[in-house]
């Protein structure tokens, strides 16, 4: 089937059924579309909308985002997950201001060169905001193409990706490519869904090879399953006499990268060993130590179970805490801080937010 026939039917469907009232579709500047596309990576539209609206209020343009601190950005990102997206968004804004005079670049090569932006995201921004003709290949598009063309194989495999990029290029029309880009994303999100797809409402179902071959439930091919290993850790929830909580900034790489978190103690919950570790590593004496309920967090490569260990803490007389990667946190006085998920949960549990 020619790309014209595919795109023509899809555009006609979009005219009647496509989504046209999403926040980033109103005044679709490159900045607004870019922020939305980063937020929408591996996150549902309904979840993104309130985050996007709050983000735009605080950072209405790329200059405001570039001038913000990382903590301010991550504070607005907390809860969306995949925090490298927020850090890269912040870095990219600074690059745009420093190297592009505060103007979002308008060539695909320059956009891809920005931190955290790949070919598909770059194409989506340039298409939706600047009406340039570029194919995209996000998760929704992969699902549509895998089913319509009966592509067998996990889309994460390089050879399958190349095949899909060729198909995406063939089907993207030169005219109205911005509407087509939104249309194929909408089709995957609302009709050609991962589960319970609405094939009867699909504008291209008449020549969908997966539907004809009863393969819709089998495509796209799932990623080979692996049993995720389980890791365990101990979070030290330490409170001082002023009611402040000891936090450390996480390293840039790894889980909760760049966010503030309770210190991780040794996994062996031995009272004497823990107290000695806190004295040597944190410079604190512990009092009234109690174990909290275990929390489980699932990441792409492993499960992580953390047990909060609550205690009152007092800095040893010889310790002066001047490390900017550590602070005593008072929610009443420090409002803008990027907090890791377990910190937020524990704060909510004890009601000190």
From the centroid of its chain, how far is CA 188?
A: 19
β 303-315/230-239 pair status: parallel
d(CA 314, CA 136) in angstroms, rounded, equals: 55
Domain 230-350: assigned CATH number: 3.90.79.10
For 212-294, list the strands marked E by DSSP: 230-239, 245-249, 260-261, 264-265, 284-291
Q: With a cut of 50, say whether residue 302 has pLDDT above it.
A: yes
Q: Report the b/e string of 52-69 with b at 16+ CB within 10 A.
A: beebbeebeebeebbebe
Ranges of each domain in the chain:
3-218, 230-350
Q: What is the CA radius of gyration of the chain?
A: 24
CA angle 117, 119, 121 (to 5 degrees): 55
Q: Which of 1-15, 43-57, 293-307 has the highest mean pLDDT?
A: 43-57
**What is the rounded (10 degree) CA torsion for 174, 178, 183, 185?**
110
What average pLDDT is seen over the chain?
A: 91
d(CA 314, CA 285) in angstroms, rounded, equals: 5
Residue 329's pLDDT band, with cuts at 50, 70 and 90, is confident
User: DSSP letters along 52-116, please?
Assistant: HHHHHHH--SHHHHHHS-HHHHHHHHTTS--THHHHHHHHHHHHHHHHSTT----SHHHHHTSTT
Q: Which of 103-112, 121-130, 323-332 has the lowest mean pLDDT?
A: 323-332
Q: With a cut of 80, say whether residue 335 has pLDDT above it.
A: no
pLDDT number for residue 205: 97
**For 22-69, what is each residue's pLDDT tens digit?**
999 999 999 999 999 999 998 999 999 999 999 999 999 999 999 999
From the centroid of its chain, how far is CA 240?
A: 34
Active-site residue, 37 included: yes
pLDDT number for residue 353: 45
Residue 119's pLDDT band, with cuts at 50, 70 and 90, is very high
Containing 343, the helix (H) or strand (E) segment is helix 341-350
Residue 316's pLDDT band, with cuts at 50, 70 and 90, is confident
Judge residue 242's burial from the number of C-beta atoms within 10 Å of its C-beta, 0-12 exposed, 13-18 middle, 19 or more buried.
exposed
- pTM for the model stands at 0.83
Q: Name the CATH architecture for the domain at 3-218.
A: Orthogonal Bundle (1.10)
Nearest to 120 by CA among 132, 112, 129: 112
Q: With a cut of 80, say whether residue 268 has pLDDT above it.
A: no
Nearest to 336 by CA among 55, 76, 62, 39: 76
Nearest to 35 by CA among 177, 25, 279, 342: 25
Nearest to 306 by CA among 352, 348, 269: 269
d(CA 68, CA 91) in angstroms, rounded, equals: 11
Q: With a cut of 70, say whether residue 334 has pLDDT above it.
A: no
Give the active site residue among 37, 72, 239, 244: 37
């Amino acid at each position: 089937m020619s790309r014209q026939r595919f795109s023509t039917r899809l555009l006609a469907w979009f005219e009647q059924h496509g989504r046209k009232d999403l926040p980033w579709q109103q005044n679709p500047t490159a900045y607004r579309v870019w922020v939305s596309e980063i937020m929408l990576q591996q996150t549902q539209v309904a979840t993104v909308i309130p985050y996007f609206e709050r983000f735009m209020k605080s950072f209405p343009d790329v200059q405001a985002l570039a001038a913000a601190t990382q903590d301010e950005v991550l504070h607005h990102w907390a809860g969306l997950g995949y925090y490298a997206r927020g850090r890269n968004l912040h870095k990219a804004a600074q690059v745009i201001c420093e190297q592009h005079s505060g103007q979002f670049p308008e060539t695909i090569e320059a956009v891809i060169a920005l931190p955290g932006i790949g070919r598909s995201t770059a194409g989506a921004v340039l298409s939706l905001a600047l009406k340039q003709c570029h194919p995209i290949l996000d998760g929704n598009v992969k699902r549509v193409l895998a089913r319509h063309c009966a592509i067998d194989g996990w889309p994460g495999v390089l050879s399958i990706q190349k095949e899909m990029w060729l198909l995406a290029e063939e089907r993207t029309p030169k005219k109205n490519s911005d509407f087509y880009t939104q249309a194929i994303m909408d089709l995957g999100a609302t009709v050609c869904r991962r589960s319970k797809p609405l094939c009867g409402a699909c504008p291209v179902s008449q020549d969908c090879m997966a539907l004809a071959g009863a393969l819709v439930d089998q495509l796209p091919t799932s990623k080979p399953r692996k049993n995720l290993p389980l890791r365990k850790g101990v979070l030290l929830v330490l409170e001082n006499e002023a009611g402040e909580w000891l936090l450390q900034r996480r390293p840039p790489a790894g889980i909760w990268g760049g966010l503030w978190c309770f210190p991780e103690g040794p996994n062996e919950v031995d009272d004497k060993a823990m107290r000695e570790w806190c004295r040597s590593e944190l410079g604190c004496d512990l009092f009234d130590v109690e174990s909290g309920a275990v929390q489980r967090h699932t990441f792409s490569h492993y499960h992580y179970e953390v047990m909060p260990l609550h205690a009152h803490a007092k800095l040893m007389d010889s310790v002066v805490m001047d490390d900017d990667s550590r602070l005593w946190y008072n929610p009443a006085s420090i409002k803008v801080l990027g907090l890791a998920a377990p910190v937020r949960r524990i704060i909510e549990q004890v009601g000190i937010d």
